[in-house]
Structure 1
Amino acid sequence: MDGLFPRSRAVVAPGAMHVPGWLSLDRQRELVAACREWGRGPLTYEHTVLPGGGVMSVRSLCLGRRWVPYRYLDVVEVELPPWLRALGRDAVREAFGEAADFSPDAALVNFYDSDARMGLHQDKEERSGAPVVSLSLGDRCVFRFGNTENRGRPYTDVELASGDLFVFGGPSRFAYHGVPKVLPGTGDPALGLRGRLNITLRETGASGGP
């Protein structure tokens, strides 16, 4: 055992796969550098304001088709890099043995400081039923993966560490999930990152996509 929970590859729920340590340290460094570069403009990491007036504690930016609560706009401010789209296909292949025709056209990059959280929610703005690919960088977190009916039990807590891959699709595509806790200071110092970055790749299914 390493940390709070087992660190072996696991099917967390039908269609939901956790692959610890999928990204090499060098690839993690490349992704951290890319995340920093994206935030230098024209995009910046901002706290999303929800329709009810609440403000998310994470800071986010969007690549490819832009997401706003709770829809996608027909706006692309920064193109989703082809290499990141290819990484998403590799991730689906790693999780499920084949990538089918997974073609992400949006990426949401979230930055968590030590106080940031993400409440349980569904990723349901996409018209496509393609899987969601999640890549973790920096500090570890507790990732809560629930059921498709409500925010209550049953759910499973998984510790996600830097370099981990989590993919969910099929019967778990619309499962509630969130981050109730970040574990400060648990990232590899070699990354030069304080806090946690999470990149999620989605196929929106919107017309005019790749």
Structure 2
Amino acid sequence: MLFTAVPRPPARIIPGAVHLPAFLDEEEQHALVGQARQLAREAAGTPVAMRRPKVGNGQMDAWLLSLGWFWATNPYRMLREVDGHPVPAVPGNFQGIADRVMERAREIDPLVGPTPRIQTALVNFYPPGKGMGLHVDADEKSGNAVVSLSFGQDTVFRIEGRDTLLMSGDAVVFGGPARRARHGVLGARSGTSDLLEGRLNITMRQMEER
């Protein structure tokens, strides 16, 4: 019996939020995962190393690596250096990826708005079964869109009560009326990826208004 893949066309999730399935091919996925691992190795042992941030009285399940600006907690704030150690720079290729993603997303929903200048990025690693609760990205002064890339195990992206299955290579954009929407991801699903055990996510954004 012949089985065919279920079609996953690009789609607007809510006004200003767009899902682009399989945006990155396998070669691009392998290259970006390798780049993320190298960035984490270079920061290891420093105050800006990949870490599980403490939030309130608890600790996040995800491991976060900050690029460009450091996302600090308790209290929430964005820093350019930690204990005199500069935050790793955003790699130059990230802007080109964001340009491509935003161009395609605007074809689906122009409400995503202008392309952000990528001034900061988070590299998040989710062990199998782990996710991130609902939250709002409000630490940036800029209202330009957030560009998010998924690698590895499947997860469900939830934004304002709408669920979307994310698979390795997918991209999501939320800007315009969706820029401050509440969103999160459910647990990474074991056995759904040959790329890595767990899920890697890269979110790119603009910090300043200009």
Q: Output the TM-score relative to the length of structure 2.
A: 0.85
Indicate the structure with greater strand content: 1
In the other structure, the counterpart of 2:181 is 175
In structure 2, distance between residues paired with 1:172 and 1:21: 22
Report the alpha carbon displacement of residue 88 of structure 1 after superposing the two structures with TM.
1.4
Identity value in percent: 39
TM-aligned CA distance change 1:101 to 1:115, over 3 Å: closer
In structure 2, distance between residues paired with 1:2 and 1:14: 27
In the other structure, the counterpart of 2:197 is 194
2:94 corresponds to 1:89: no
In the other structure, the counterpart of 2:131 is 117
**Alignment gaps of 5+ in structure 1:** 147-154
In the other structure, the counterpart of 2:10 is 9
Report the alpha carbon displacement of residue 53 of structure 1 after superposing the two structures with TM.
2.1
2:42 corresponds to 1:28: no
Aligned-partner residue type, residue 186 of structure 1: T
In the other structure, the counterpart of 1:151 is none
In structure 2, distance between residues paired with 1:102 and 1:111: 23
Kept after mapping to 2: 8 A contact 1:113/1:195 = yes
Cα deviation digits, residues 123-171 of structure 1 (max 9, x gap): 011100000000000000011111xxxxxxxx11110000001000000
The 3-state SS of whatever aligns with 1:26 is helix
Q: State the number of aligned residues.
A: 193
Kept after mapping to 2: 8 A contact 1:16/1:166 = yes
1:74-85 alignment, distance < 5 Å: 74-75=80-81, 76-85=86-95
Aligned partner (choices 123, 126, 131) of residue 145 of structure 2: 131
Report the alpha carbon displacement of residue 180 of structure 1 after superposing the two structures with TM.
2.0
1:153-164 alignment, distance < 5 Å: 155-164=161-170
Structure 1 vs Structure 2 CA RMSD: 1.9
